[in-house]
A = this chain, B = another copy of it.
């Protein structure tokens, strides 16, 4: 039995030994990653494992998929993340007894994820069944400064003979697959051995042909190493105390000498030593927090959780070269390790405003997949580029097209992320090398997929918006507004601008609300008869699609991303209408509902959705995040605070704020990078203060343009916003 302790500002503390049914979730919470390497937070003893998990960004295996009834352009192959060589297992024997916290007496068991040090520390005091007292401390980090390196420090004390086996394991037997459509496929033994010696194992994935080298060094104790094709084992013995450091370096880039490169990185890390790596880690994090931290007074749990979320967004997105940011980051194998539109719409806003070079690299990765997207567009009978709904390296991996390939909005989402990045940074080099092409090619898609009707109205028919409880609808408002922005940004020709100007935005005059898609508000209502959530596990799509039931913010997301296209009155009415029909069966929903709730004045409701998003994986019940954290929800906590209560908007490339505080929060401070400046925004009851550093910054406060000089401050009274009561909802925010 274990628990996540009371909220601390900069740490996540677990006390007690996690039970079997807690293991998977904790392994995700305590995962360490640096955008390239990800280690799930497994305990040192390999047998106490929910799901192993060492991931290398873009390391995948290919597999065939088949369909009971296939159709043209259904993907025949898919990509699945695989477990990389696992350097975590350490097996300890104390006086002949195996160290096993499920036996004997655990006097203390604590793990701490330190958000400023970027380390996971475990401390155990244990008395063995034979009565030997054992003290153990292990610490690990995945280096932000060294993209190829993970490091471990291990100390054990006991008045007895000690023996450790420290392993690097390949092709471990995976745990049983779970019966959940969102779970990953399991690929057994994905690697064939290429070479092995006492320093390094080299393997190649059997089908995707990716070569992986993992080099290991143990220092601080004498030991002996043995090597097998799928195992490197270092064994050391002692008495009273045994301590050692373990450095691991991975290289898995194609086409070069990965073995040599891994050995060089390992040697460099080993010669620097664990303490130096830990110092580097602190420095990187200090710089990150200085630009990204969000401070709040009045809700310590959310304060902790938003930093936890930002830390994991950093861990998922800290790219030193172009690469994807998967939906689960590098914390689990959920969604097969695929990257979806979450990246551009949820993760990249955070990175753009806190660490824009990471956003740039994620967008350059999308650009690297452009040829796949062009091929896919041709296959779909469309022009331009049709980016994959799910992928690791670019090819479409979605196996259910009505909620996959038909979600063409991913293309406008990518264009939108490019526009945001460009507006925030002014990075013309990126635009010239990648961004412009992304915008133009996706615009070509919209030209080919839209058509003007006899009245001159442009339509996009038969596509699926963000809400996956609807599919293949006409004129999804979110899709059409994002496509409009995409077309206008590309401005390819008169025809495309005409489509943008004339695109249908369905509005139901009777209810005075926008239709999520044409006809939506005339569908049958869902009656919520004692429903179990998520509905998709209890009801067929046939029944969901034909009704007014919304899995996740869709029209409400449109009001966030294209707030300029709605009046304040429309936003209020739309919010209430869709609130009554949204079940939040996706973790992508609460953050967006929080932002719009704040905008339309449901301040307490916004706070509740903020908390739901922020606490989802950290303090959510059950299996939440067990196969990987919801990185978009991690980012969503930032969105809810900065876009919700901070009121940050960037429609049309114009930075604006409309801050407000919910009852209970007494201070909100956040930082935003904009061009060469950093803007620090502090909201307190009755007052909002903007502080610029690095350069003068121009933005809008409550609709009025403001320029703050470098080093200067501008203070405004906080616009009074009455807290409107929450409208009816079929599933109010989770209570805390």
Q: A73 to B181, alpha carbons, bound, how many Å?
A: 12
Cβ-based interface call for A530 (8 A): no
Nearest residue (CB) in B for A543 is: B381
A72-B540 contact, Cβ under 8 Å, with A461-B546, A524-B451, A546-B461: yes
CB 8 Å contact bits of A226-248 with B (1 = contact, 0 = none): 00000000000000000000000
Binds B, one of A110-118, A210-218, A348-356, A397-405: A397-405
Q: Which residues of B contact A461 (CB under 8 A)?
A: 523-524, 546-547
Do the beta carbons of B510 and A542 come within 8 Å of each other?
A: no
Cβ-based interface call for A518 (8 A): yes
Shortest CB distance A41–B (Å): 28
Binds B, one of A17-25, A61-69, A711-719: A61-69
Which chain A residues in 392-418 approach chain B with CB under 8 Å?
398-406
Which chain A residues in 436-481 approach chain B with CB under 8 Å?
449, 451, 453-454, 459, 461-463, 471-472, 474
CB 8 Å contact bits of A364-403 with B (1 = contact, 0 = none): 0000000000000001111000000000000000111111
Shortest CB distance A473–B (Å): 9
Binds B, one of A489-497, A531-539, A589-597: A531-539
Do the beta carbons of A69 and B540 come within 8 Å of each other?
A: no
Shortest CB distance A78–B (Å): 7
Shortest CB distance A550–B (Å): 15
A463 CB contact (under 8 Å) in B381, B463, B546 = B546
Do the beta carbons of B65 and A68 come within 8 Å of each other?
A: yes
Cβ-based interface call for A430 (8 A): no
Do the beta carbons of B519 and A519 come within 8 Å of each other?
A: yes
Do the beta carbons of A540 and B405 come within 8 Å of each other?
A: yes
Q: Which residues of B contact A725 (CB under 8 A)?
A: none
Q: Which residues of B contact A272 (CB under 8 A)?
A: none
The count of chain A contact residues (Cβ–Cβ below 8 Å) is 53
A540 CB contact (under 8 Å) in B401, B463, B540 = B401
Do the beta carbons of A401 and B542 come within 8 Å of each other?
A: yes
Q: A73 to B380, alpha carbons, bound, how many Å?
A: 28
A472-B545 contact, Cβ under 8 Å, with A399-B67, A540-B381: yes
Q: A472 to B537, alpha carbons, bound, how many Å?
A: 20
Q: Which residues of B contact A102 (CB under 8 A)?
A: none
Do the beta carbons of B67 and A67 come within 8 Å of each other?
A: yes
Nearest residue (CB) in B for A76 is: B68
Cβ-based interface call for A10 (8 A): no
A537 CB contact (under 8 Å) in B72, B522, B541, B543 = B72
Q: A545 to B471, alpha carbons, bound, how many Å?
A: 12
Cβ-based interface call for A1 (8 A): no
Q: Which residues of B contact A75 (CB under 8 A)?
A: 68
Do the beta carbons of A71 and B522 come within 8 Å of each other?
A: no
Do the beta carbons of B451 and A399 come within 8 Å of each other?
A: no
Do the beta carbons of B67 and A538 come within 8 Å of each other?
A: no
Q: A94 to B43, alpha carbons, bound, how many Å?
A: 78
Cβ-based interface call for A70 (8 A): yes
Q: Which residues of B contact A471 (CB under 8 A)?
A: 472
Which chain A residues in 115-146 approach chain B with CB under 8 Å?
none
A398 CB contact (under 8 Å) in B69, B459, B518 = B69
A68 CB contact (under 8 Å) in B67, B379, B459, B518 = B67
Q: Which residues of B contact A518 (CB under 8 A)?
A: 519
Q: Which residues of B contact A545 (CB under 8 A)?
A: 462, 472
Nearest residue (CB) in B for A381 is: B543
A536 CB contact (under 8 Å) in B71, B519, B546 = B71
Q: Which residues of B contact A181 (CB under 8 A)?
A: 69-71
Q: A70 to B545, alpha carbons, bound, how many Å?
A: 16
Q: Which of A69, A382, A454, A463 has the most CB of B within 10 A?
A: A69
Do the beta carbons of A401 and B546 come within 8 Å of each other?
A: no
Shortest CB distance A452–B (Å): 9
Shortest CB distance A491–B (Å): 23
Shortest CB distance A457–B (Å): 9
Nearest residue (CB) in B for A180 is: B70
A400-B539 contact, Cβ under 8 Å, with A463-B546, A524-B459: no
Q: Which residues of B contact A404 (CB under 8 A)?
A: 69
CB 8 Å contact bits of A502-540 with B (1 = contact, 0 = none): 000000001000000011001110000000000011111
Which chain A residues in 70-126 approach chain B with CB under 8 Å?
70-73, 75, 78
Do the beta carbons of B462 and A542 come within 8 Å of each other?
A: yes
Do the beta carbons of A379 and B540 come within 8 Å of each other?
A: yes
Do the beta carbons of B510 and A540 come within 8 Å of each other?
A: no
Q: A68 to B181, alpha carbons, bound, how many Å?
A: 9
Q: Which residues of B contact A402 (CB under 8 A)?
A: 402, 472
Q: A72 to B403, alpha carbons, bound, how many Å?
A: 14
Q: Which of A453, A518, A522 has the most CB of B within 10 A?
A: A522
Q: Which of A78, A471, A542, A545 has the most CB of B within 10 A?
A: A542
Contacts A66-B66, A67-B399, A380-B543 known; 13 new A-B pairs at CB < 8 A: A67-B68, A71-B536, A72-B538, A72-B539, A401-B540, A401-B541, A405-B542, A453-B522, A454-B510, A461-B523, A462-B523, A472-B472, A518-B519
Q: Write 20 A-B pairs (CB below 8 A) sorted by A numbering.
A: A67-B67, A68-B75, A68-B78, A69-B181, A69-B398, A69-B404, A71-B181, A73-B542, A379-B540, A381-B539, A401-B541, A401-B542, A406-B542, A449-B546, A451-B524, A453-B522, A459-B523, A462-B546, A463-B546, A472-B545
